[in-house]
Structure 1
Amino acid sequence: MNTEYFTQASLAIQIHILVAVGAFFLGAYLLLRRKGTKAHKMAGRIFGVLMIATAISAIFIRQLNNGSFSFIHIFVPITFVGLYQLVSAIRKGDVKRHRRHVLNMYFGALMIPGLLSFLPGRTMWMLFFA
């Protein structure tokens, strides 16, 4: 692991990596553990905050397209819409819909962009394989 690449990255990239990795592990915990407990509800709230921070920090990362937004920025609004949907579903007591939105959020707004960040030349590729 090339930690120098992380320390030399912009503050936006550093924040983005930290909150995204936190959301990845906390999301995995939430998916694997018992649902409906106080711990699940608190971890879910923290997961939501981490996902918001991940989306907001992504807005400030623009190296891929010469300072403009790139195709990967489509995951920012997807994240916000997904969070609204999963919170709305659980507030209405629709656990089945909440679970579907959580799975969509975890895989569609976290795993897919996370995997794209490991393409050669991208930040995570450089961090782990350079």
Structure 2
Amino acid sequence: MGTVVPCIFLGAYLLFFRKGNSLHKVLGKIYMTLMMITAIASLFLPALVGPQFLNHFGWIHLFSFLTLYSIPTALIAIKKGNVRKHKIKMIMLYVGAIMIAGGFTLVPGRYLHGVFFG
């Protein structure tokens, strides 16, 4: 949780404020690093709600794989000067991994639902 919570705010800032400057680049590197750590760490957590695959993975783990795919492809895109592809990948990452997957973690029966809502 310590790696993903800052990404909620960092990602929003990066999406809605000026792009391409040095602050955007520094915060983007921090954001990408934290998201990669979160995605890798989440793969070690078993799915506790819904069906399991290989006695471990659940549907929510698809967002981890989305993250592990989106970040390198977004980074490669911007290094090649493909701003449009980078933008699409980063929006897809924020919506999929932060908003949708984050929303699923707050569903009743999940650990974080208990933490935040008792």
- State the TM-score, normalized to the length of structure 1: 0.82
Higher relative contact order (CA 8 A, sep 6+): 1
Distance in 2 between residues matched to 1:71 and 1:105, nearest whole Å: 16
Match among 63, 77, 98 for residue 89 of structure 1: 77
Give the structure 2 partner of residue 19 of structure 1: 3
Q: Which runs of no fewer than 5 residues in structure 2 stay unpaired?
A: none
Distance in 1 between residues matched to 2:56 and 2:6, nearest whole Å: 27
Distance in 2 between residues matched to 1:119 and 1:84, nearest whole Å: 30
Distance in 2 between residues matched to 1:21 and 1:60, nearest whole Å: 19
CA RMSD, Structure 1 to Structure 2 (Å): 1.5
Give the structure with the larger helix fraction: 1
Distance in 2 between residues matched to 1:78 and 1:34, nearest whole Å: 25
Identity percentage of aligned residues = 39
Distance in 2 between residues matched to 1:63 and 1:43, nearest whole Å: 31
Distance in 2 between residues matched to 1:63 and 1:48, nearest whole Å: 24
- State the TM-score, normalized to the length of structure 2: 0.90
CA contact (8 A) 2:47 2:60 kept: no
Residue correspondences, number: 114
AA matched with 1:31:
L
Pair 1:29-2:29 in alignment: no
Q: How does 1:5-84 map to 2 (within 5 A)?
A: 17-64=1-48, 65=52, 68-84=56-72
For residues 23-46 of structure 1, what are the alpha-carbon distances to aligned partners after superposition, in whole Å with 9 as ceiling and x for unaligned?
111101111211111000000000
